């Protein structure tokens, strides 16, 4: 098994050999003093598992029974975890930088769109929270998918190792399960037949086996390709869910009317019955890929426990964004502002966390960095837009302050001919993208699928207000408590005063940076807006629309 070269050697701190020398010399005073220092330190080890395209709202956690038991039931399960940009590279950039998209400037998955480009490598990457943890003495390890353009020739090739990583096993390009290239501390390695999730697991276990209680604290990030396309399960799990079908939510294959952005109205709507078995196939294959991730999580927890490290280690599992499979007659993808694309799993266990808690306070992917710095007794720098949720984990402080959150969802639409099937009528059209003949050439994205949304979430209300940057300045507005599947756009019910108010909040968030991104609203409603929302709630509570109602305030 590979071990790090001079770029990845253990830095200052006691290792296992030093520990043996102390014992052999029988210098009990030194040993006791060392253990006393270790016992007084409140820094913790951090293990982060980042899955790819794993949803929450469609049952994406269901196949990961071990993960739910070993992390969620042993710690905290968040029910309102969101990403701020629902697509791979921008979301991962937000996660790593703790900044909104408008501040890190990774706009899409392309190099021209800022994905692992020179700006990212020179200006954002060096200020990421992993680099800050490294500078503070943490030993750092990364294995798996990083950013979609990482390792490509025009992005610096495999020689580029992002600042702050001691052990670096970075996947070149986008998620794959076989036939991939890794940058192993800057050296290119091609793997044809090694199932990537299993290889990531083995690298991670090798790293953990070399750790002891007397080492420096460590950060380990494991980023498997599951459950991203091409949805290739390990041989042991192929056809494991052969009888499972896609979850038919109330908005499944519901044609988007004129109250949805034009992209959702593209034909065919609804999807013909002949395509539905393909959605079932995608759904179950995604689950099958996650079974290997579940095995990886179990192996990591067992190794941490065997090494005596588990009690001082925070273990976090989350995804880079959600996913849709058939909702609003969209085949399968992400990129939209709706619940299935922006909600993600978030499970955390670790020291000081009471087991088996469910936390409803909203948290964002940009909050991960400040939280990890908090775990390391470090203050988050002023340029980070997120905030630590460690008090929520430890159930300390005034938790009511965290119940009220107003945040931004932003997305830049992408148009490229590289993801359009050659037999589609849009081939050669650079205003749309993700158009496959497998799904009758229905496109999943467009250049003017560019939007920004303000989300107001507190115990009294749960509102999404979105504006699209197209010729229509199209708006979509949803009361998510009364309409959790976002079937009815309420924009036409807003008064001009409502629109002005929401737009003001939205513009404020679109320009925010650091602490200015943290603000709370007491209420988003004017009288007209409130009366309409109240009517919808009453219809839900009286059973008039039970199929789309959740528990309401």
Nearest 5°: phi and psi at 418?
-70, -20
Contact 207, 220 (CB under 8 A): yes
Contact 466, 453 (CB under 8 A): yes
Torsion of CA 233, 235, 236, 238, to 10 degrees: 50
Measured between alpha carbons, how far is 400 from 171 in angstroms, rounded to an integer?
A: 41
Buried b / exposed e over 342-381, threshold 16 CB at 10 Å, is: bbbbbbbbbeebeeebebebbbbbbbbbbbbbbbbebebe
Residue position matching structure tokens 């052999």: 24
Catalytic residue of the set 88, 435, 540, 549: 88
Nearest to 6 by CA among 209, 132, 167: 167
Measured between alpha carbons, how far is 233 from 274 in angstroms, rounded to an integer?
A: 24
Buried b / exposed e over 121-147, threshold 16 CB at 10 Å, is: beebbebbbbbbbbeeebbbbbbbbbb
Return the half-sphere exposure (C-beta side, CA atoms, 13 A cut-off) of residue 28. 0
Q: Please indicate whether residue 512 is annotated as part of the active site.
A: no
Measured between alpha carbons, how far is 206 from 184 in angstroms, rounded to an integer?
A: 14
Instruction: Tell me the β-bridge partners of 220.
Output: 47, 141
Catalytic positions, written as ranges: 88
């Amino acid at each position: 098994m590979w071990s790090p070269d001079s770029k990845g050697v253990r830095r200052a701190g006691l290792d296992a050999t030093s520990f043996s020398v102390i014992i052999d010399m029988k210098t009990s005073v030194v040993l006791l003093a060392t253990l006393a220092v270790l016992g007084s330190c409140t820094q913790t080890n951090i293990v982060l598992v980042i899955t790819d395209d794993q949803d929450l709202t469609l049952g994406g956690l269901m196949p990961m029974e071990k993960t739910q038991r070993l992390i969620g039931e042993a710690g905290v399960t968040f029910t309102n975890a969101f990403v701020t940009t629902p697509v791979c590279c921008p979301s991962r950039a937000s996660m790593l930088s703790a900044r909104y998209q408008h501040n890190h400037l990774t706009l899409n998955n392309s190099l021209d769109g800022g994905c692992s480009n020179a700006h990212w490598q020179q200006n954002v990457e060096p200020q990421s929270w992993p680099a800050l943890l490294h500078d503070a003495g943490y030993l750092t390890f990364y294995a798996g998918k990083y950013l979609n353009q990482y390792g490509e020739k025009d992005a610096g090739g495999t020689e580029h190792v992002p600042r702050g990583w001691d052990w670096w096993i970075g996947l070149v390009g986008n998620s794959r399960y076989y036939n991939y290239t890794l940058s192993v501390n800057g050296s290119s390695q091609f793997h044809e037949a090694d199932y990537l999730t299993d290889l990531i697991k083995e690298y991670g276990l090798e790293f953990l086996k070399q750790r002891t209680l007397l080492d420096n604290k460590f950060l380990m990030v494991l980023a498997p390709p599951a459950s991203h396309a091409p949805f290739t399960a390990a041989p042991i799990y192929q056809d494991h869910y052969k009888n499972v079908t896609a979850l038919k939510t109330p908005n499944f294959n519901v044609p988007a009317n004129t109250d949805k952005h034009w992209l959702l109205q593209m034909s065919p709507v609804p999807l013909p019955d002949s395509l539905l078995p393909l959605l079932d196939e995608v759904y179950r294959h995604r689950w099958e890929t996650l079974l290997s991730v579940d095995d990886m999580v179990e192996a990591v927890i067992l190794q941490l426990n065997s090494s005596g490290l588990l009690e001082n280690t925070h273990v976090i599992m989350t995804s880079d964004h959600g996913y849709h499979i058939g909702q609003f007659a969209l085949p399968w993808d992400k990129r939209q502002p709706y619940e299935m694309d922006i909600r993600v799993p978030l499970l955390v266990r670790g020291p000081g966390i009471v087991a088996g808690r469910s936390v409803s306070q909203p948290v964002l992917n940009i909050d991960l960095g400040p939280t990890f710095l908090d775990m390391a007794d470090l203050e988050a720098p002023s340029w980070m837009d997120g905030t630590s949720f460690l008090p929520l984990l430890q159930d300390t402080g005034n938790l009511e302050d965290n119940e009220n959150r107003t945040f931004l969802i932003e997305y830049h639409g992408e148009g490229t001919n590289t993801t359009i099937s050659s037999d589609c009528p849009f081939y050669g059209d650079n205003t749309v993208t993700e158009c496959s003949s497998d799904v009758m050439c229905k496109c999943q994205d467009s250049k003017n699928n560019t939007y920004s949304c303000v989300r107001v979430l507190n115990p009294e209300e749960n509102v999404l207000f979105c504006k699209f940057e197209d010729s229509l300045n199209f708006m979509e507005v949803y009361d998510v408590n009364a309409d959790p599947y976002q079937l009815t756009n309420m924009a036409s019910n807003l008064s001009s005063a409502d629109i002005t108010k929401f737009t003001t909040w939205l513009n404020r968030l679109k320009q925010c940076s650091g602490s200015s991104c943290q603000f709370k609203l007491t209420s988003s409603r004017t009288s007209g807006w409130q009366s309409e929302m109240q009517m919808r709630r009453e219809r839900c509570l009286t059973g008039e629309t039970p199929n789309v109602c959740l528990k309401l305030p």
